[in-house]
Structure 1
Amino acid sequence: MEPVSNIQKWALITGALGGIGRALVSEFVEHGYQVIATDLNNSCKTLNNVHFLQLDLDAFVLDEAYAAEFYSKISRITAHKGISTLINNAAVQILADCSQLSRKQWQTSLNVNLTAPFFLSQLFTDDLVANKGAIVNISSIHATLTKKEFVAYATTKAALSSMTRNMVLDLGNRVRINAIEPAAIATDMLKAGFDGKEEQYKRLEMFHPLGRIGTPKEVAKLACFLSSDDAGFVQGACISASGGIHGCLSDPL
């Protein structure tokens, strides 16, 4: 897909300072978008065609006035043109055994990973309809395949993928909505978790049929495609980006 020349299309990307988030911002800018990049953490960086906003998704979910003020900020930034793409990328990954998970941990997981994407989609529906826009939810392989202590994260991602499919029935042909379900992606956070564990990292790579894990840019390129007119007939899809690992049986024998 060739970069577009019209820079008046606006993309709103949450979780923009993480590994996948940074790749999303760069990819959409490369394809001619003006990007509103949000994150819980503030950023002092200034980039061409990128507007940074701090966004607390917990507060966004719980405080309607906070959400309304956020919408007003976006409206002012876009000169009331509104966004044409919403990328729900932000997520928290709280790991705990189901017998130990606290109510706060459970509710935070739901707020950030599921409820915020829903209400962001609802808040910007009119803008997206007016701009013939698209929503891309960054879900996870954990929506269908998970492991111990991932119950909160996996449950929210399964619900996010389900929400993606179900919202289609209400949105119809007005707004396209799709999800990406990545497996292991080579973010700084993932690499830091394998610091000093090079052999384990190599085993993780080789367990993927492609012989490697994914890159943030590959996820970003797929999100950019799903936001484009080239993906015009793709609606309500939850697309695996797993390097084939979603087909692997983990068999001890």
Structure 2
Amino acid sequence: MTNEARVVLVTGGARGIGRGLVQFLADRGWQVAFCDVDREQGEWLQERLGDQVRYFQADVASEAEVAGMIRAATDWHGRLDAVINNAGLAGPESGPVEELDLAVWQRRLDVNLTGPFLVTKHAVPHLRKNGGAVVNIASTRALQSEPDTEAYAATKGGIVALTHALAMSLGPEIRVNCISPGWIDTRAWQDMEEKAPPLSESDHRQHPAGRVGEPRDIASLAAFLISEEAGFITGQNYVVDGGMTRKMIYED
């Protein structure tokens, strides 16, 4: 089966890293179904990329919406070969833990962690038919933190653990891996009204790789992990951060 006939589902595909995933995979011959709560941006991206992509509106925190979206996505071409769980509430700061509202905490968990579980749950019967693959998008914040980011960090750490648990439960028919991005500059993919100022030389220089990341850095690895070439890889978390989590930093 060639990539031209294969279908991948990307959640949270209308903006940022998600948009980069949709465009990268479509450029490489995949049929790309994607969902997002942002109907305006989702329909714009579908129109821009053409018949090779198909947008579905869905909130991944709602099981009913997820189930309907999976049915529609699989009906599109009659199959589903891969899922990339990218949807999530960005912006890691949620304030001091003693002031963190339970509703804010719960909404983070519902979207960032329960969402990937629900999408995978409903996709599994279809993925099993084709020896499919799942890629979950976590964050380097699963491994290190700044103050006042408890809700976000907890969800991303949960995704890493969910990944290896799913890999054990779903193998050998379905492989499950995880990508933990570091600083990925998605500003050009957010349709901002005013053009964002360029990143500084020091922004790039502080990375051992010499630059801040781009959406294609994540998309290229995801494309590999859902391909047949990655058939011996499952249960892994790949940190894509330009080396920052390996850099020893102390204040002078």
For 2:88, the equivalent position in structure 1 comes to 91
Give the CA deviation at 1:195.
5.3
Give the CA deviation at 1:207.
1.8
Give the CA deviation at 1:30.
1.8
Measured at CA, do residues 169 and 130 of structure 1 come closer, stay the same or move farther in structure 2, by a change above 3 Å? same
1:8 alignment partner AA: A
Q: Does 1:11 align with 2:4?
A: no
Give the CA deviation at 1:170.
0.8
For 1:41, the equivalent position in structure 2 comes to 38
Q: Does 1:51 align with 2:54?
A: yes
* Whole-angstrom CA distance in 1 between matches of 2:82 and 2:198: 39
TM-score, reference length from structure 2: 0.88
Task: Show CA shifts across 1:218-244 (max 9, x none).
Answer: 110000000001111111010010111
Give the CA deviation at 1:71.
2.8
2:36 alignment partner AA: D
For 2:120, the equivalent position in structure 1 comes to 121
Give the CA deviation at 1:28.
1.1
Aligned identity (percent) is 31
* Whole-angstrom CA distance in 2 between matches of 1:13 and 1:32: 15
Alignment of 1:168-247 (within 5 A): 168-188=167-187, 201-247=200-246
* Whole-angstrom CA distance in 1 between matches of 2:198 and 2:18: 25
What SS does structure 1 have at the residue aligned with 2:4? coil
Q: Which moved more, 1:29-38 or 1:238-247?
A: 29-38
Q: Any conservation in 1 of the 2:113–2:156 contact (CA below 8 Å)?
A: yes
Alignment of 1:56-95 (within 5 A): 56-60=59-63, 65-78=64-77, 81-94=78-91, 95=93
Measured at CA, do residues 66 and 186 of structure 1 come closer, stay the same or move farther in structure 2, by a change above 3 Å? closer
Structure 1 gaps of 5+ residues are none
Measured at CA, do residues 215 and 67 of structure 1 come closer, stay the same or move farther in structure 2, by a change above 3 Å? closer
Q: Which moved more, 1:181-190 or 1:107-116?
A: 181-190
Give the CA deviation at 1:158.
0.6
TM-score, reference length from structure 1: 0.88
* Whole-angstrom CA distance in 2 between matches of 1:99 and 1:158: 21
Q: Does 1:133 align with 2:129?
A: no
Task: Show CA shifts across 1:59-86 (max 9, x none).
Answer: 23xxxx43332232223222xx221010
What SS does structure 2 have at the residue aligned with 1:246? helix
Give the CA deviation at 1:54.
0.8
1:88 alignment partner AA: N
Q: Which moved more, 1:216-225 or 1:145-154?
A: 145-154
Measured at CA, do residues 127 and 214 of structure 1 come closer, stay the same or move farther in structure 2, by a change above 3 Å? same
Q: Does 1:30 align with 2:27?
A: yes
Q: Any conservation in 2 of the 1:93–1:109 contact (CA below 8 Å)?
A: no
Q: Does 1:249 align with 2:238?
A: no
* Whole-angstrom CA distance in 1 between matches of 2:218 and 2:198: 25
* Whole-angstrom CA distance in 2 between matches of 1:34 and 1:210: 32
Task: Show CA shifts across 1:137-166 (max 9, x none).
Answer: 011100101111221111100110111011
Measured at CA, do residues 6 and 250 of structure 1 come closer, stay the same or move farther in structure 2, by a change above 3 Å? closer
* Whole-angstrom CA distance in 2 between matches of 1:77 and 1:196: 40
The alignment yields a C-alpha RMSD, in angstroms, of: 2.1
* Whole-angstrom CA distance in 2 between matches of 1:247 and 1:115: 30
